[in-house]
Amino acid sequence: MSVFENVKENIDYVAKTMKLDEGEVELLKSPKRIVQVNFPVKMDNGRIRRFNGYRVQYNDARGPTKGGIRYHPKVDLGEVKSLAFWMALKCAVVGIPYGGAKGGIEVDPKGLSDRELESLSRAYVKSIHEIIGPTKDVPAPDVYTNPQIMAWMLDEYEKIRGEHSPGVITGKPIELGGSQGRGSATAQGGAFVLDEAARIQNLKPNKTSVVVQGFGNAGSYMAKIVSKMGYKITAVSDSKGGVLDEKGLDVGKVEKHKEKTGSVKDFVGAKNISNKELLELECDVLVPAALENQITKDNANKVEAEVIVELANGPTTPDADKILDKKGVMVVPDILANAGGVTVSYFEWVQNLYGYYWPAKEVHDKLEKIMRKAFGEVYSKSDEYKTNLRTGAWILAIEKIINAERARGNI
């Protein structure tokens, strides 16, 4: 089943719980604007290659649309639509004044030189510049995009417009108006909610084992931050495989090992395991921090964790969700668990609009307040509806979006 089919299934389920009417459901299932582009890039060998790109602006009732740009060979419209919808929910859950969007290019960036990557990024902005802007739609990094790519995109946009406009994109390098703390923000936000979930489950940090799937930006920072908070990281993995040490991994050393060898695999003193085995490990907290559809109906029954903190977007399918619910696993949903990234993107945008920049501690403290408060609100909402945290988070977000649409006279 495609990811967007899963999204529609979830909308139907939540709509029933909230007793939404047909018009409201239709609105939630319909992206406001879908832009599909195809553009040429001159490769290093002198040949022209064409690429497919997307930008979906799903809902803008609560503010300019916001969301990252993903470079991945498997990017398709269904995935981008789903991610854009989740962004709208995410921004509503943490209460920042944005709608939801997402972009993507169908490409394997690992196969490109730096020059090709720069040309690709600039060409994408040339194709979509008319529909983005600080008060329209504000892109950011996502899977396999980073601050350097944001810098090229900003530069291209400013050249086309003939003016400085740092608020058009977030996740920029500090030198171009990036915010302190943006690089680690997704993980830092996830760490705050993991800590809230642990408190509720009576899990003491030094007696709590945490397993992290994915060692990219979000996963590696998560492992580092959570281990600094006193939790025990027993296993981590990347696309090539994972490592396990029940006594606890030295995450800093694992990171150095990955820098040297290209993978966490074969880390000295730890046992090599597969990604499949990692998801089924006995542990207190499991953090999927890679891609969508990792916990499915085929492996949900084998998940041994008491708490799942979804740092990735959409790691659990609706079928798997039902199984986890029955097993009594507490799932802290993606739209809450990974909202720290877009929250600091919002801080970055505010600083850009003011031209006045905050120190790291201010960013950290403001993020902590928002994340812990959002966890509390999601928890209360799920209590009110006698449901799980995912449904609670969706209800909280959808109520805000529907109220904004109603105030505008759109429903």
Known catalytic residues are: 102
- Backbone φ and ψ of 65, nearest 5°: -75, 155
Rule CB under 6 A: is residue 342 a binding residue for ligand GLU? yes
CA 202 to chain CA mean position, Å: 27
Tell me the C-alpha to C-alpha distance, in Å, between residue 96 and each of 233, 347, 397: 31, 10, 11
Site for ligand GLU in 234-253 (CB under 6 A): none
Tell me the C-alpha to C-alpha distance, in Å, between residue 384 and each of 196, 247, 300, 395: 19, 40, 26, 11
CB 349 within 8 A of CB 327: no
Residue 53 or 171 with smaller CB distance to ligand GLU: 171
Tell me the per-residue interface mask from 259 to 298 with ligand GLU, x by CB under 6 A, - otherwise: ----------------------------------------
Considering only 24, 116, 142, 306, the residue that binds ligand GLU (CB under 6 A) is 142
Rule CB under 6 A: is residue 313 a binding residue for ligand GLU? yes
d(CA 281, CA 287): 12
Residue 60 or 284 with smaller CB distance to ligand GLU: 60
d(CA 265, CA 257): 9
Residue 82 or 338 with smaller CB distance to ligand GLU: 338
Find the part of the chain contacting ligand GLU (CB under 6 A) among 18-26, 45-53, 65-73, 392-400: 65-73
Rule CB under 6 A: is residue 103 a binding residue for ligand GLU? no
Find the part of the chain contacting ligand GLU (CB under 6 A) among 62-70, 172-180, 238-246, 359-367: 62-70
288 sits in which H/E element: strand 285-288
* Full strand arrangement of the beta sheet holding 137-141: 33-42, 48-59, 99-106, 65-72, 137-141
Rule CB under 6 A: is residue 66 a binding residue for ligand GLU? yes
Residue 267 or 347 with smaller CB distance to ligand GLU: 347
CB 99 within 8 A of CB 66: yes
CB 84 within 8 A of CB 103: no
Considering only 31, 68, 177, 288, the residue that binds ligand GLU (CB under 6 A) is 68
Rule CB under 6 A: is residue 140 a binding residue for ligand GLU? yes
- Backbone φ and ψ of 49, nearest 5°: -120, 145
Residue type (1 letter), 47: R
Rule CB under 6 A: is residue 345 a binding residue for ligand GLU? yes
Residue with tokens 């802007």: 133
Site for ligand GLU in 104-133 (CB under 6 A): none
Residue 132 or 342 with smaller CB distance to ligand GLU: 342
Tell me the per-residue interface mask from 167 to 186 with ligand GLU, x by CB under 6 A, - otherwise: ---xx---------------
Rule CB under 6 A: is residue 100 a binding residue for ligand GLU? no
Least spacing, CB of residue 45 vs ligand GLU, in Å: 32
Candidates 116, 198, 151, 106; CA nearest to 139 is 151
Considering only 338, 352, 382, 388, the residue that binds ligand GLU (CB under 6 A) is 338
Return residues touching ligand GLU (CB under 6 A): 66-68, 140, 142, 170-171, 313, 338, 341-342, 345
